[in-house]
Structure 1
Amino acid sequence: MANESTLRFGAQTDEVTSLLRIVNMVRTGEAVTRPEIGRVTGLGRGVVAQRIDRAVEMGFLEDAEYAPSSGGRAPRTLRFRAERGRLVVCALGGLHIHVGVTDLAGDILAETHRAWDIATGPDETLAAATALIDGLLQADDGTAVWAVVVGLPGPVDFETGRPVAPPIMPGWNGADVRRVFEDRYDAPVWVDNDVNLLAAGERARRRDEAVDLIYCKVGTGIGAGLVSRGRLHRGANGAAGDVGHVRVPGSEHVCRCGKTGCLEAVAGGWALVRDAEAALPEGATGMLGEISASGAELTPEDIARSAERGDPLSISLIQASARHVGEALAALVNMFNPSVIVIGGAIASAGELFLAEVRHRVYELSLPLATRDLVIKTSENDVSEPVRGGVDLAREQLFEVSLPRWFGEGRPTLTAVHGAAAAV
């Protein structure tokens, strides 16, 4: 490819810098005609034309329809060629696998889901996940995969893509998850905590804001994703937001992580199932009693649905969970001062019953200044949330973080994005 030696690996000449900016401006819709690009960048007409011709030659941009006329000849718009590549998201939960394929604009082309126990271990789980992805890609038109994002329900070292002592994932500690997907799809891979994917999805809904946001997932386990001024905050080692293992004063319940009194061991979905099963033999009745009597295994979703329908035991469990979660979030509010808290997950799907108690505790225990403009809401409950969040993370890494390193190649490569170590 012409000028490859100049462009590859982020050589920061004025030409490359302006070329990268123009591609991203068209991709994001900031400016989509040649006159608009000239006004925003301050580049001369001839330079803009030259840069655009180069971007078209490289396959990033193409001419599209004409824009509305403002009196003279209508300018032709440009479009980013989002169809050139595919983004793949694999969201692994405690009890499910959810995968999706999108174009480079983030439009979902296909997705699928299956029940799966993450405790099965990395080899079988990743084989099942890649089989689902392969099925979606085989039904596609053969367009190359440009990036893969994997979400895991536990702490992840984002730099290496390896889980670190995940409490509900026996056998996963240090597993080279990234390498499995890189070898299979020959594309850059990013591995992150599953709640960070959900936080990225909420961030994408507010792209015009430099938002400070907490996404708290209260499902089988409990975790939080933090967005600071529009950027995911992972902390020094990827452990930021692991609120599920904050100690609850006075609790003696043993957590799955091996410690005593963790928030998750008191308020997580598995803990509520434990408490429900302990209460039923003591004479508790209602919907949970009927489910148990039928021989079915209780789930966190059963408790949330039963609470919404007025089951007394479920209501008491949901309110107790919300109270403890609200107390933990209040500490985060005082330290982090978010503008938005989004509550999601199976237990939080009880809706206003859960949310009202969380709000009460947060506002009661947080500083007035920290809650003055705070919005606390439930998630959109979109089944595609993990895919949308993973795609937002992929596009951020490709087009905002690593674009200068791989732009000259015409598409992202492992070596360009992750360095020489990726090729070993």
Structure 2
Amino acid sequence: MRISGLNNQRVRQHNRRTIMTLVWRLKRLSKSQLAQHTGLSIPAVSKIIDELVTDGKLSHSSENLSNRGMNSGHYQIPDDGPLILCMNVSPTSIESQLIDARMLPVGDFSWTDVNAQTPEALLKAIENLWQQQRKRWPGQRINLALGIHGQVDTATGVSQTMPQAPWKKPVQIKYLLEEKLGITVRVDNDCVMLALAEKWQNPQNRDDFCVINVDYGIGSSFVINGQVYRGTLNGSGQIGHTIFDRDGVACACGRYGCLETVASLSALKKQARVWLKSQPGSLSLDPDALTSLQLLDAWRHGDANIQRWAEQAANAIGLTLYNLLNILNINQIWFYGRSCAFGEPWLQTINRQIGFTPFDQGDAGRTRQTEIAFGGLTRQQQIIGIGYLFVEDALEAG
């Protein structure tokens, strides 16, 4: 095994990347602020940012960020780079937000209903939204960042499985769109989109955290030591396919009793439909046309059955997370997805099941209880998260 040390060149690269990371995250920083955040001296910071400005990585503004003392303006990402159209893509809907080179929103967040029965129809819907933006911004390069439901091969940009789709074959989303539109396309899983959104836009995050999306299915993404962990086969985060009940019902993955089959929003709808068919006229709901919104509305109005099923789902999630925390010792978890509309009672049930993990006790008896909460980012911020694939690529490239 070979372990490399850090020569002067690597130290310089590390410091450049640290400064760029800070500017991407905080948007505008003065020399003194950069020195304060990095622990480097003002002369060292000055040398690095002068190089970055010369390389076109940073731009300087004479606007002062403070009225105290001498101030030489601030530094930020140049605004002359390509725009990025961020999308959260499923066969039934596409959420999109255009952002500029600094990862700041341009225009309004939008939701588009689609009914894609084929991969070609879904690609066409993506292209149509991109073409609409190109008409608004003629002559401007607009790249694509796509968060895709299901498993994605990030190296090739292939959607390997999309659970809600009528088709079962892989789709070469990145290649086909790049060939058709002549732009750069980045593709990853929709839970990675949420993890990137949290990592780059929530200053309260720790270096290790997890996001869990409880919606149609149950997905998750882990950030470990500040980096999204995907696994060599891009299979990390399949918490929804953890076996919860060995004698349970069949899951779409081919196994039985996965967490998704008892705790996802689609599982609760299935449970409600079965009960409604056995109780004609109950709740004045059509079991064959039951929607997630109707299910949540019935819960809010105190339907005892739905409240009980939601609590059982939360118990299952909590027990699964207890095992996860004992393996990974991640002490910060953010929940997203439509199931979050079940509110604090649902979250408290999850917390009760987790309790204290054996690792919650810190040094000298100091307790660091696992932090479990609803994610606080807006839907617009969540969609912007997938755009940070371009930032991480740029940082990796130096």
When normalised by structure 1's length, the TM-score is 0.78
8 Å Cα contact 2:84-2:100 kept in structure 1: yes
TM superposition shift of 1:242: 0.5
Report the 3-state secondary structure (helix = DSSP H, G, I; strand = E; otherwise coil) of the residue aligned with 2:285: helix
Change (3 A) 1:268 1:369: same
Q: In structure 1, which of residues 144, 152, 157 is the aligned counterpart of residue 141 of structure 2? A: 144
Q: In structure 1, which of residues 266, 274, 277 is the aligned counterpart of residue 273 of structure 2? A: 277
Matches for 1:349-388 after TM superposition, within 5 Å: 349-363=341-355, 366-367=357-358, 369=360, 372-380=368-376, 382-388=378-384
Report the 3-state secondary structure (helix = DSSP H, G, I; strand = E; otherwise coil) of the residue aligned with 2:302: coil
Q: In structure 2, which of residues 284, 299, 308 is the aligned counterpart of residue 290 of structure 1? A: 284
Distance (whole Å) between structure 1 residues aligned to residue 218 and residue 384 of structure 2:
20
TM superposition shift of 1:240: 0.6
8 Å Cα contact 2:174-2:187 kept in structure 1: yes
Give per-residue Cα distances to partners, 1:254-310, cap 9 Å, x unaligned.
222232222112222222111111111322776xx22328xx821223222321221
When normalised by structure 2's length, the TM-score is 0.83
Q: Name the residue aligned to 1:407.
A: none
Q: In structure 1, which of residues 330, 333, 336 is the aligned counterpart of residue 328 of structure 2? A: 336
Report the 3-state secondary structure (helix = DSSP H, G, I; strand = E; otherwise coil) of the residue aligned with 1:84: coil
TM superposition shift of 1:130: 1.9
Change (3 A) 1:13 1:144: farther
8 Å Cα contact 1:22-1:52 kept in structure 2: no
8 Å Cα contact 1:223-1:241 kept in structure 2: yes
Change (3 A) 1:301 1:372: farther
Change (3 A) 1:36 1:285: same
Give per-residue Cα distances to partners, 1:149-204, cap 9 Å, x unaligned.
21111111211111234444343533111112322443332211111111221222
Matches for 1:162-177 after TM superposition, within 5 Å: 162-171=158-167, 173-177=169-173
- Aligned: 1:131 with 2:124: no
Q: Name the residue aligned to 2:3.
A: none
Q: Name the residue aligned to 2:299.
A: 307
Structure 1: segments with no counterpart, 5+ residues: 1-11, 405-424
Report the 3-state secondary structure (helix = DSSP H, G, I; strand = E; otherwise coil) of the residue aligned with 1:90: strand
Change (3 A) 1:40 1:299: same
TM superposition shift of 1:392: 2.8
Report 1 or 2 for greater relative contact order, CA contacts < 8 Å, sequence distance ≥ 6.
1
Give per-residue Cα distances to partners, 1:213-259, cap 9 Å, x unaligned.
11111111111111112211111111111111111224431222232
Report the 3-state secondary structure (helix = DSSP H, G, I; strand = E; otherwise coil) of the residue aligned with 1:136: helix
8 Å Cα contact 2:326-2:359 kept in structure 1: no
Alignment RMSD, CA only? 3.3
Report the 3-state secondary structure (helix = DSSP H, G, I; strand = E; otherwise coil) of the residue aligned with 1:321: helix
Distance (whole Å) between structure 2 residues aligned to residue 211 and residue 314 of structure 1:
37
Distance (whole Å) between structure 2 residues aligned to residue 394 and residue 322 of structure 1:
35
Q: Name the residue aligned to 1:116.
A: 114
8 Å Cα contact 1:301-1:347 kept in structure 2: no
Which range is displaced more, 95-104 or 182-191? 182-191
Matches for 1:100-111 after TM superposition, within 5 Å: 100-110=97-107, 111=109
8 Å Cα contact 1:100-1:133 kept in structure 2: no
Distance (whole Å) between structure 2 residues aligned to residue 13 and residue 260 of structure 1:
50
Which range is displaced more, 266-275 or 108-117? 108-117
Q: What amino acid maps onto 1:102 in structure 2?
A: I
Which range is displaced more, 34-43 or 316-325? 34-43
Distance (whole Å) between structure 2 residues aligned to residue 22 and residue 360 of structure 1:
41
Change (3 A) 1:52 1:89: closer
Q: Name the residue aligned to 1:409.
A: none
Report the 3-state secondary structure (helix = DSSP H, G, I; strand = E; otherwise coil) of the residue aligned with 2:256: coil
Q: Name the residue aligned to 1:414.
A: none
Matches for 1:242-257 after TM superposition, within 5 Å: 242-257=238-253
Report the 3-state secondary structure (helix = DSSP H, G, I; strand = E; otherwise coil) of the residue aligned with 1:65: coil
Q: Name the residue aligned to 2:78.
A: 81
Which range is displaced more, 83-92 or 20-29? 20-29
Report the 3-state secondary structure (helix = DSSP H, G, I; strand = E; otherwise coil) of the residue aligned with 2:193: helix
Q: In structure 1, which of residues 214, 227, 239 is the aligned counterpart of residue 235 of structure 2? A: 239
TM superposition shift of 1:210: 4.3
